[in-house]
Structure 1
Amino acid sequence: MAIITLTTDFGEKDPFAGAVKGAIYNEMPDMRIVDITHSISPFHIPEAAYIIKNAYKSFPEGTIHIIGVDAELTPENKHLALKLDGHFFICADNGIMSLLTSEINPEKIVEINIHDAIKTNFPVLDVFVSVACHIARGGTLEVVGKISETIKELHYLKAQANNDLTQITGHVIYIDNYGNVVTNISKSIFETIGKGRAFTIHARSLKISKIFTSYSQAIDFTVNKEQRFDDEGKKLAIFNTSDFIELAMYRSNPQTSGGASSLFGLTYLDTVTVTFK
């Protein structure tokens, strides 16, 4: 039996997430459903893209991922079903898959065309669930859509190097539960452009010239804890589990002392640059 995951901006208060699960169980009572999150910020496509990119690989191949973010059907926002990296994704063609397809080419893309047979004003509940259950039964993508070759690209999800390869310009694409700031500057572009050169990361007034591989690596544990006065709140940059540059504060708490986002004054789409020397 396949697994169906749900990633939405529905929140926990309203009935929408529960209704989608009920519709799946109504078609396939033994289906396994996993909530990745229903707490995506409303209509926040880069946030949803980042979360699904980081979550899907932990599931077995053949898993079906429903992404219910900005999913209303319009002439500019069609619906897609994709097979990519052995997984299936059902979502709107709003750029949400850009972060994944920039690294992995889809095996197949179809533009869903079963809407005439399903009258709905809640496509995640009706259309997406119908497509997901069709795939779970072993159905092919061509039955629910016509083959497509392209998806919508969101170019601001990609960091860019300047012409003389001395600087990478990126943006904040996600702020996590700890207030840490995730950029779209990948380890791959950093190493390709940097070639081992010294560098400085600039983000507003923040300047950092070293990148760690973990948060605790920034702490000198050879010094007695009582003498390490600046451990908590220490500014640092790491390559996170997605291999993106993340700006953080060691052991920060957004509810008390503040996290990197508030303390650095950074928010979604703010510019972050890496300048090489």
Structure 2
Amino acid sequence: MAIITLTTDFGLKDHFVGSLKGTIYKELPDAKIVDISHYISPFNIHECAYVLENSYKNFPEGSIHIVGVDAEPTPENKHIALLIDGHYFIVANNGIIGLITSERKPEKVVEINIPNPDYGSFPVLDVFVKVACHIARGGTLEVVGKPFDALKDLREFTPIVSDNGNKIIGSVIYIDNYGNVVTNIHKKFFDAYRKGRDFELTARSTKISRIHNKYSDIINYDLDKEHRRGAGDLLALFNSAHYIELAIYKSDLNTVGGASTLLGLEFRDTVTVTFE
């Protein structure tokens, strides 16, 4: 039985997530359901795209990913099902899938058109679950929809290059549980314009001239402990998804704060890299 994953902005206070799982189990008692996240910020398709892109690839091919963010159907927000990189995605055509399709061409895309759809206020349950269960039973995409070729792009994931290639203007796309700030500047993009030059990264009034590969790189173990940088200090690094991230080493967003609160950075705020 294929794995079915759930990524939503539903939270866990209400009945929504439980209803999804119960309906799946009623259809497929042996189903394997994995929660990726139910704490996507409400209707934040950029945040959802980042989480989805960096989680789906860790599942086996054939996995089915239900994406319940901004899923209400409208003439401009159609329901689609896709086969990409060996994985199935059931999602609204609102741009969420754009981060994945920017790197990989879909093998199949259909606009969902199931018989007698119940388009109520809970389309993830009424439509997406039905499609997921169909696929999990071995069904094909052709049965649930017709070919679709109007995928929406995801805006704001590509930084702007200015000053004849001497400056990258990026933005904050995600803030994690630690308050770490993830930008849309990917290592490949950064390296393509750096060309071995020195640089200065600016976020509000903060300036950084070094990017690490892991959090503990901030510590110089050749120095005595009292002279080292460490917990509570700011650093920039290429995170596990290879995007530039700003972090406070060993921070706690709920007590001392994280990079987002201490630097005053929020979703869509500007981060720039200037090459010298």
Aligned partner of 1:222 in structure 2 is 222
Question: After the TM superposition, which of the residue ranges 99-108 and 12-21 deviates more from structure 2?
Answer: 99-108
Do residues 67 (structure 1) and 50 (structure 2) align? no
Aligned partner of 1:89 in structure 2 is 89
Do residues 160 (structure 1) and 163 (structure 2) align? no
- Distance between the aligned counterparts of 1:226 and 1:271, measured in 2? 34
Contact 1:166 1:276 in 2 (8 A): yes
Deviating runs (4+, > 2 A) in structure 1?
115-121, 224-228
Specify the code of the residue in structure 2 equivalent to 1:271: T
Aligned partner of 1:265 in structure 2 is 264
- Distance between the aligned counterparts of 2:41 and 2:154, measured in 1? 18
Do residues 38 (structure 1) and 35 (structure 2) align? no
> What are the Cα deviations for residues 224-248 of structure 1, in whole angstroms up to 9, with x where unaligned?
32443x4122111100000000011
Specify the code of the residue in structure 2 equivalent to 1:207: K
Aligned partner of 2:195 in structure 1 is 195
Aligned partner of 1:247 in structure 2 is 246
Do residues 233 (structure 1) and 197 (structure 2) align? no
Q: Which runs of 5+ in 1 are unaligned?
A: none
Aligned partner of 2:144 in structure 1 is 144
Do residues 276 (structure 1) and 275 (structure 2) align? yes
- Distance between the aligned counterparts of 2:235 and 2:135, measured in 1? 44
SS of residue paired to 1:164: helix
Computed over aligned residues only, the root mean square deviation of the Cα atoms, in angstroms, reads 1.3
Aligned partner of 2:29 in structure 1 is 29
Q: CA deviation at 1:163?
A: 6.2
| Residue 272 to residue 135, structure 1, CA distance change in 2 (3 Å) | same
- Distance between the aligned counterparts of 2:146 and 2:170, measured in 1? 35
- Distance between the aligned counterparts of 1:47 and 1:117, measured in 2? 29
Specify the code of the residue in structure 1 equivalent to 2:37: T
Q: TM-score, normalised by structure 2?
A: 0.96
- Distance between the aligned counterparts of 1:89 and 1:104, measured in 2? 13
Aligned partner of 1:4 in structure 2 is 4
Aligned partner of 1:181 in structure 2 is 181
- Distance between the aligned counterparts of 1:104 and 1:207, measured in 2? 35
Specify the code of the residue in structure 2 equivalent to 1:67: V
Contact 1:202 1:208 in 2 (8 A): yes
> What are the Cα deviations for residues 225-277 of structure 1, in whole angstroms up to 9, with x where unaligned?
2443x412211110000000001111111122110001111000001111111
Contact 1:115 1:127 in 2 (8 A): no
Specify the code of the residue in structure 2 equivalent to 1:255: N
SS of residue paired to 2:6: strand
> What are the Cα deviations for residues 181-236 of structure 1, in whole angstroms up to 9, with x where unaligned?
000100111011111211111111111111100010111112232443x4122111
- Distance between the aligned counterparts of 2:263 and 2:56, measured in 1? 30
Question: After the TM superposition, which of the residue ranges 146-155 and 109-118 deviates more from structure 2?
Answer: 109-118
Contact 2:117 2:126 in 1 (8 A): no
Specify the code of the residue in structure 1 equivalent to 2:267: Y
- Distance between the aligned counterparts of 1:99 and 1:175, measured in 2? 17
- Distance between the aligned counterparts of 1:6 and 1:260, measured in 2? 28
Aligned partner of 2:58 in structure 1 is 58
- Distance between the aligned counterparts of 1:224 and 1:188, measured in 2? 35
SS of residue paired to 1:13: coil
Aligned partner of 2:77 in structure 1 is 77
Aligned partner of 1:208 in structure 2 is 208
Contact 2:117 2:127 in 1 (8 A): no
| Residue 148 to residue 30, structure 1, CA distance change in 2 (3 Å) | same
Q: How many residues align?
A: 276
Q: CA deviation at 1:53?
A: 0.9
